[in-house]
Chain A
Amino acid sequence: MKTNQKPNGLEQAVLNADMNLLEAAFEQADDPQASLLSLTKGLDAAREKLGDYRASVAEFLLCVDVMRTGLERLKAFGPAPEDRQVVVIGVVQGDVHDLGKNIVAGVLEAYGYRVVDLGRDVSPMEFVEAVEKQGAAVLALSTMMSTPLEDMARTIQLCKNRLPHVKVLVGGAPLDQEVARNMGADGYAESAVGVPESLKKILQSTKTRASRVFVDYDKKLRVEETEAGTNPGEP
């Protein structure tokens, strides 16, 4: 009974964004794996509530905070940082709205990725250099404005031309699935609700949306859809 109740406390702590309950539940927790599972279940439930409009973004932010605190406690038991898949994330050049990016970064961390957050107003070259340096599998780009879309496209172009094995995920108010596709991104995340699934899906796919992206003379993006090779660094 004891072991069944402990994870439940952690699950509830995340779902209800209750730091006190989290501390109390950890007092009795003795199985790190079960604890991690419970925390994740709690965040799954919180995402579901957010997706069903039963919880607001503000409430979800507090759930993510509790989840992060919980993960910090379990840090010693989880995979080493170097064993986790790396996601480089940031808001593209020309934009400083980072709320959506912060939520997505928090969710991805909670689901076991090592997230390298470059912050706001990040240039295409900074993104690509960080991806290369960190050996990232995914580049996640965000913008809430239409102004930086050209820079987002340039970032994707640069990344695809230089690091074709890296998957690019985009999200933000001026985007939708089709726009993301036309820009050459591998995936589109409408909100934090579905981002773990979107990421998993693009990582499982051996295809990249494009290995080469061009900007034509009329400034329209032309995407050559090809099946790229796997990451040279991967077996």
Chain B
Amino acid sequence: MGTAAIWKRLVMGQAPPVGDIPGPVQDVLATLASARGKFSRLTSLERVLAATRHKEPDQVPVAPLVNAAARRITGVSFPDYSQKAEKAAEVFTASVDFVGGDFIVLLLDLSVEAADFGQEVVYPLNSTARPNYDNPLIKDVDGYATIKPVALNDSVRMKELVKLCQIMSRRMGFRTMVGGFVFGPLGVLSMMRGAEALFKDCLNHPKKVMTACEAITETLVEFAQAQCDAGMPAVAIDTLYASWNALPKKVWEEIEGPFAGQIAQAIRDKGALVGIHNCGHASYFDAQLRAMDATIMSFAHLPDDCATPKEMKEKYGDRLTFVGYVPTPLLVHGTPQEVMDESRRQIDVLGKDGGFVLAPGCEYPPNISLDSAFALIRAAEK
């Protein structure tokens, strides 16, 4: 990638591979956007650029993460949303048209990669796709050795997701920032083994788990790069198990850390920004940064080494753009006013000097009303 790629994307009316733009140039553009933002309304791309370069935009950007929840706007069924790129694109487009926001992430569900490795997946009518946990692909510890890399060309769901990236990149253009998404190798394994068994295997049989991680990573590298080639200026890696809810920090660093690092490097090689998504409790920001050197962190809870959001901003704010962290229970049960109050509290603490995108801690719950999403958008408006 390089200057040619940047121009090519710009000529096509698409967001360029941000990572290929030299840092000082990005800083100049972000400073200009920030200055313009004091007098007029910025575009979403300007707003996100300013925030990620730690300049204050006209308002904090919002990523409502209304993914499957936007299905109901157009009436697309859950199975179609999960399996057909055109239908999913309808849904994501509707989320931008109807709800708004500055940043969307093309996460369909967490079973996309596992399905292509051979895991049986069910497609309920009233919920997002998921593995059939009664029929895990990996039935015992010896099953890890049977996992082999899957070429993207031979895949079904991953290929559809890349197609979705292409459609949305063209369709959104400069209008809204669009990001890709891959589930980390341990996440993919948990879909094929079950989280509980996987956790125990990580402690009791780490080498066997790592053998499968290696095979999966080969596929994920190709998958992530294909998303970048399809026009994604940023791709998030979900390393959920780097948190207290799952593995000890040291174990995560040994088992998944190196593989997550390979995927992150592959994304950077394509000139895209690396994001991390981790909605676990007390996640290990430090370990994940050591492994992936990401610039964007989507999170639901404070990291293990920070007691307050202020402390988190002081500790990690200079190198990370935070994306979060409105709690799911509040979105589900809170009034729009309560959602706005919490959002504004977070903006006050984390939005100063940029480096913050207001978002739910995890995907917007698929079956609740969109009131809370509108509240997020409204909260960010000055």
Interface residues of A, Cβ cutoff 8 Å to B: 53, 55-59, 61-62, 65, 94, 96, 98-99, 102, 120, 145-147, 149, 173-176, 178-179, 182
- Which residue of chain B has its CB nearest to the CB of A146? B365
Complex CA–CA separation, A147 to B332 (angstroms):
10
Cβ A96 vs Cβ B246 within 8 A: no
- Which residue of chain A has its CB nearest to the CB of B122? A96
Complex CA–CA separation, A61 to B196 (angstroms):
8
Cβ B332 vs Cβ A56 within 8 A: no
* CB of B32 closer than 8 Å to a CB of A: no
Q: Given the known A-B contacts A147-B366, A182-B333, are A62 and B203 also in contact in the complex, defined by CB atoms under 8 Å?
A: yes
Give the distance to chain A from B256, nearest Cβ to Cβ, in Å.
Answer: 13
* CB of B202 closer than 8 Å to a CB of A: yes
Q: B199-241: which have CB < 8 Å to A? A: 199-200, 202-204
Which of B56-64, B125-133, B145-153, B309-317 makes up part of the contact surface? B125-133
* Residues in B neighbouring A57, C-beta threshold 8 A: 199, 244-246
Interface residues of B, Cβ cutoff 8 Å to A: 126-127, 130, 133, 195-196, 199-200, 202-204, 244-248, 251, 282, 304, 328-329, 331-333, 365-368
Cβ B127 vs Cβ A147 within 8 A: yes
Complex CA–CA separation, A179 to B203 (angstroms):
35
Give the distance to chain B from A176, nearest Cβ to Cβ, in Å.
Answer: 5
- Which residue of chain B has its CB nearest to the CB of A57? B245
Q: Other than the known A57-B245, A147-B127, what 7 A-B pairs have Cβ atoms closer than 8 Å?
A: A53-B304, A56-B247, A58-B202, A61-B200, A62-B203, A65-B200, A147-B367
Partner of A56, one of B204, B244, B331: B244
Cβ B126 vs Cβ A94 within 8 A: yes
- Which residue of chain A has its CB nearest to the CB of B330? A176
Complex CA–CA separation, A73 to B328 (angstroms):
42
Partner of B367, one of A58, A146, A182: A146
Cβ B244 vs Cβ A174 within 8 A: no
Complex CA–CA separation, A61 to B246 (angstroms):
10
- Which residue of chain A has its CB nearest to the CB of B331? A146
Give the distance to chain B from A72, nearest Cβ to Cβ, in Å.
Answer: 18
- Which residue of chain B has its CB nearest to the CB of A120? B133
Give the distance to chain B from A172, nearest Cβ to Cβ, in Å.
Answer: 10
Complex CA–CA separation, A115 to B365 (angstroms):
31
Cβ B195 vs Cβ A99 within 8 A: yes
Of all A-B residue pairs in the complex, the 6 with the closest CB atoms, nearest first, are A58-B199, A146-B365, A147-B367, A146-B332, A56-B248, A176-B329
Partner of A179, one of B127, B251, B333, B368: B333
* Residues in A neighbouring B282, C-beta threshold 8 A: 53
- Which residue of chain A has its CB nearest to the CB of B198? A58
Cβ B328 vs Cβ A99 within 8 A: no
Cβ A56 vs Cβ B329 within 8 A: no
28 A-B interface contacts by CB (under 8 A): A53-B282, A53-B304, A56-B246, A56-B248, A58-B200, A58-B203, A58-B248, A59-B203, A61-B199, A62-B203, A94-B126, A94-B127, A96-B130, A96-B133, A98-B196, A99-B195, A99-B196, A120-B133, A145-B127, A146-B365, A146-B366, A146-B368, A147-B126, A147-B365, A173-B328, A173-B329, A174-B329, A179-B332
Give the distance to chain A from B105, nearest Cβ to Cβ, in Å.
Answer: 18
Complex CA–CA separation, A203 to B328 (angstroms):
29
- Which residue of chain A has its CB nearest to the CB of B132? A96
* Residues in A neighbouring B329, C-beta threshold 8 A: 173-176, 179
Complex CA–CA separation, A178 to B328 (angstroms):
14
Give the distance to chain B from A166, nearest Cβ to Cβ, in Å.
Answer: 24
- Which residue of chain A has its CB nearest to the CB of B131? A96
* Residues in A neighbouring B332, C-beta threshold 8 A: 146, 149, 174, 179
Give the distance to chain B from A222, nearest Cβ to Cβ, in Å.
Answer: 15
* Residues in A neighbouring B367, C-beta threshold 8 A: 146-147
Complex CA–CA separation, A59 to B203 (angstroms):
8
* Residues in B neighbouring A102, C-beta threshold 8 A: 196
Cβ B200 vs Cβ A62 within 8 A: yes
Complex CA–CA separation, A94 to B332 (angstroms):
16
Give the distance to chain A from B251, nearest Cβ to Cβ, in Å.
Answer: 7
Give the distance to chain B from A189, nearest Cβ to Cβ, in Å.
Answer: 14
Give the distance to chain B from A175, nearest Cβ to Cβ, in Å.
Answer: 6
Give the distance to chain A from B13, nearest Cβ to Cβ, in Å.
Answer: 37
Q: Given the known A-B contacts A53-B244, A146-B365, are A58 and B127 also in contact in the complex, defined by CB atoms under 8 Å?
A: no
Partner of B251, one of A53, A58, A175, A182: A58
Complex CA–CA separation, A99 to B328 (angstroms):
19
Give the distance to chain B from A103, nearest Cβ to Cβ, in Å.
Answer: 8
Give the distance to chain A from B79, nearest Cβ to Cβ, in Å.
Answer: 15
* Residues in B neighbouring A55, C-beta threshold 8 A: 248
Complex CA–CA separation, A55 to B249 (angstroms):
10
Complex CA–CA separation, A178 to B338 (angstroms):
14
Give the distance to chain A from B308, nearest Cβ to Cβ, in Å.
Answer: 15
Complex CA–CA separation, A96 to B110 (angstroms):
14
Give the distance to chain B from A139, nearest Cβ to Cβ, in Å.
Answer: 21
* Residues in B neighbouring A53, C-beta threshold 8 A: 244, 282, 304
* Residues in B neighbouring A149, C-beta threshold 8 A: 332
Give the distance to chain A from B301, nearest Cβ to Cβ, in Å.
Answer: 11
* Residues in B neighbouring A56, C-beta threshold 8 A: 244-248, 251
- Which residue of chain A has its CB nearest to the CB of B133? A96
Select the residue from A94, A102, A145, A175 with max chain B CB neighbours within 10 A. Answer: A145
Give the distance to chain B from A14, nearest Cβ to Cβ, in Å.
Answer: 15
* Residues in B neighbouring A99, C-beta threshold 8 A: 195-196
Give the distance to chain B from A69, nearest Cβ to Cβ, in Å.
Answer: 14
Complex CA–CA separation, A175 to B327 (angstroms):
10
Give the distance to chain A from B284, nearest Cβ to Cβ, in Å.
Answer: 10
Complex CA–CA separation, A5 to B245 (angstroms):
33
* Residues in B neighbouring A175, C-beta threshold 8 A: 329
Complex CA–CA separation, A59 to B204 (angstroms):
10
